[in-house]
Amino acid sequence: MLKTPYLLFLGDAPDQLAAKVAQGIKDWRPEFALGQLRLEGCKADLGLPEMTIAQAKAAGAQTLVVGAANRGGVILQNWVTTLTEAAHAGMDIASGLHNHLSDIPELVKAAKGAGTNLFDVRVPQHDYPIADGRKRTGKRCLAVGTDCSVGKMYTALAMEKAMLARGMKSSFRATGQTGILITGSGVPLDAVVADFMAGAVEWLTPDNDADHWDLLEGQGSLFHPSFSGVTMALIHGGQPDALVLCHEPTRTHMRGLPHYSLPSLEALRDLALETARIVNPQVRVTGISVNTAALSAEEAKTCLAEVEARMGLPTVDPFRDGADRLVDALADR
Amino acid sequence: MLKTPYLLFLGDAPDQLAAKVAQGIKDWRPEFALGQLRLEGCKADLGLPEMTIAQAKAAGAQTLVVGAANRGGVILQNWVTTLTEAAHAGMDIASGLHNHLSDIPELVKAAKGAGTNLFDVRVPQHDYPIADGRKRTGKRCLAVGTDCSVGKMYTALAMEKAMLARGMKSSFRATGQTGILITGSGVPLDAVVADFMAGAVEWLTPDNDADHWDLLEGQGSLFHPSFSGVTMALIHGGQPDALVLCHEPTRTHMRGLPHYSLPSLEALRDLALETARIVNPQVRVTGISVNTAALSAEEAKTCLAEVEARMGLPTVDPFRDGADRLVDALADR
């Protein structure tokens, strides 16, 4: 969908965290990250070559990716000037922001004039079919979480990286805007119309070689009342052969819902298996990914060992330890 | 949302089944069904007074409801002429057809000129919030099915009717286009964007009197891979106190999916309870509704008795027997 390589636009990001989309691209698809463009006052820095639009274009950049969150939720004029310049120069523009590129008249005009494209990756780009539940060839692994934002995308990307390093056939399949910008394609599942959610996931993970693995990015949680329907569609559209449970051990309640406590990993395992078996009776939980960012190295070690002993499954923090043990566990699937 | 009473437009419906939306209105909201308008060749008849647009307007009709499926899936010119006449006469027009009233230029122009409204009830009419999972006052009953199209809407409507006859406070809450046309309001849940599904259901079933029951129309099935995400959002947004299991005993496979067999009522009970407890630990399955239309009276009696003995729950076909026993079972909730 998106043409690569990218010029990463950081705008006037107030801190490094505001540029996490750009950071994700640099971390997971460094070959896409040609350079960075920062405006005055930008506090984020990816350590990439600084480029003007003209320099990036000369170096072969195909798409300017808006890689930072903007201040106040709207694209201000100082951003629009740069984006319009990129469009005039013949580059596509891609953004995952809430407000859309296609709603900025001067940018639309510039892109039209130059014959380039504006990609609002939160907006579905296809008409997806209704799911037919047909068994597909190839294998699929889905990350499911005890909550939202516990590291499901990171886990799937880390597994893909480890698998490609071993020469295994695998593809990360993005289902959210950050994942789409990182990998250049995917389905913005939370923006798909209800009837077509599962069909969109089937479309995203089509028939493949028998030894090919899709690493399907999870969304929401079966236990999160706001988004559980999206998770259910991922499980039934994704037809997973393997499930990896994702967890954040210091979370005191479901994200955004102070009155809901987190489920146990056992409860997640049981409900995820029960629902996934409807479409794939052979599905198994193969491993556990714990996001221990809030723990010390010593605490993390203790936590991972405790979970592994309790659950009887390979348990890692892929950020600290890599995802090799999660990949090993797929071997017999 | 829709202004009542209605003139029911049957078009040139080829048979009675094609007019099932109009039939539903006449069955469940007879006070809305002022008259019928049929074109040449119409084979459906509701037994209502035949009215021209002028007669219906004079009798007080506020909305012309397209109450029949059209031939070939498109609204032909012979329908448009009548609909445009109704708009000119100052009536709103409502339709649940796939092709939209708002895509017919001459109808849009007529409605604009007369200051009337076109309601495509498959199109969401609100911006729904993201669900917050907050416990709401009042009580809610949700019909869940072993499959799609097993009688969930009929069951909820029959329960509402029985409750209102007893002077109980209750409201059928429509989640599909037929239910919306019948009752004049609701949420077309399968057309809502994924992120807002559960929030739309919360919006539809707000705080209410402690002794008020929402009878929430079910959609899809937890066991139907194409639509299970919609069902999950209904369960988590609906926060049901009571679940009624719906089943069609002669179905040999999931609707539209020849390679998927139906779950048992036991499996439906267990998975529906497990998922509903996440938002309401007090939820109970209170009864079973079996659609025995394909069975003889004798077979139906045997079937219902067998299910009741096996499941230990009041089991009825509300079409044959009414819904009183299902309502009785809510008493202790």
Of B229, B236, B274, Cβ closest to residue A194: B229
In this prediction, residue A73 carries a pLDDT of 64
List pLDDT tens digits, range A92-125. Answer: 999 998 889 999 999 999 999 999 999 999 999 9
Cα distance between residue A272 and residue B277, in whole Å: 15
How many A×B Cβ pairs under 8 Å?
127
Does any CB of chain A come closer than 8 Å to the CB of residue B281? no
In this prediction, residue A302 carries a pLDDT of 98
Q: What is the mean pLDDT of residues B130-136?
A: 97
Nearest-CA distance A192 → chain B (Å)? 6
Is B194's CB within 8 Å of A195's CB? Answer: no
Is B195's CB within 8 Å of A279's CB? Answer: no
Q: Which helix (H) or strand (E) holds A328?
A: helix A324-328
Residues 134-153 of A with CB under 8 A from B: 134-135
Q: How far is CA B71 from CA A230, B67, B75, B182, in A?
A: 35, 13, 8, 21
In this prediction, residue B99 carries a pLDDT of 86
Of A193, A197, A254, Cβ closest to residue B191: A193
Which residues does chain A have within 8 Å of residue B225's beta carbon, measured at their own beta carbons?
131, 133, 198, 236-237, 278-279
Which residues does chain A have within 8 Å of residue B189's beta carbon, measured at their own beta carbons?
194
List pLDDT tens digits, range B246-280. Answer: 999 999 999 999 999 999 999 999 999 999 999 99
- What DSSP letter does each residue of B105-169 carry, written as one string? HHHHHHHHHHT--EEETTS--S-PPPP-----SSEEEEEEESSSSSSHHHHHHHHHHHHHHTT-E
Which residues does chain A have within 8 Å of residue B257's beta carbon, measured at their own beta carbons?
132-133
Give me the torsion for CA of A49, A55, A60, A62, rounded to 10°.
90
Residue of B nearest to A277 (CA): B223
Residue of A nearest to B257 (CA): A132
Of A190, A195, A278, Cβ closest to residue B225: A278
- Say if residues A23 and A78 touch (Cβ distance below 8 Å): no
Which residues does chain B have within 8 Å of residue A197's beta carbon, measured at their own beta carbons?
194, 229
Which residues does chain B have within 8 Å of residue A132's beta carbon, measured at their own beta carbons?
226, 256-257
Q: What is the mean pLDDT of residues B323-331?
A: 96
Of A232, A254, A256, Cβ closest to residue B228: A232
N- to C-terminal Cα separation, chain B: 31
Q: What is the mean pLDDT of residues B104-132?
A: 96
Is A229's CB within 8 Å of B232's CB? Answer: yes
Q: At A277, which amino acid appears? A: R
Q: Which helix (H) or strand (E) holds A118?
A: strand A118-120
In this prediction, residue B73 carries a pLDDT of 64
User: What pTM does this model have?
Assistant: 0.95
Of B190, B223, B274, Cβ closest to residue A271: B274
Tens-of-pLDDT digits for all 333 residues of chain A?
899 999 999 999 999 999 999 999 999 999 999 999 999 999 999 999 999 999 999 999 999 999 998 766 678 888 999 999 999 999 999 999 888 999 999 999 999 999 999 999 999 999 999 999 999 999 999 999 999 999 999 999 999 999 999 999 999 999 999 999 999 999 999 999 999 999 999 999 999 999 999 999 999 999 999 999 999 999 999 999 999 999 999 999 999 999 999 999 999 999 999 999 999 999 999 999 999 999 999 999 999 999 999 999 999 999 999 999 999 999 877
Is A236's CB within 8 Å of B230's CB? Answer: no
Strands (E), B1-109: 6-11, 33-38, 63-66, 92-95
In this prediction, residue B312 carries a pLDDT of 98
Nearest-CA distance A96 → chain B (Å)? 16
- Say if residues A221 and A258 touch (Cβ distance below 8 Å): no
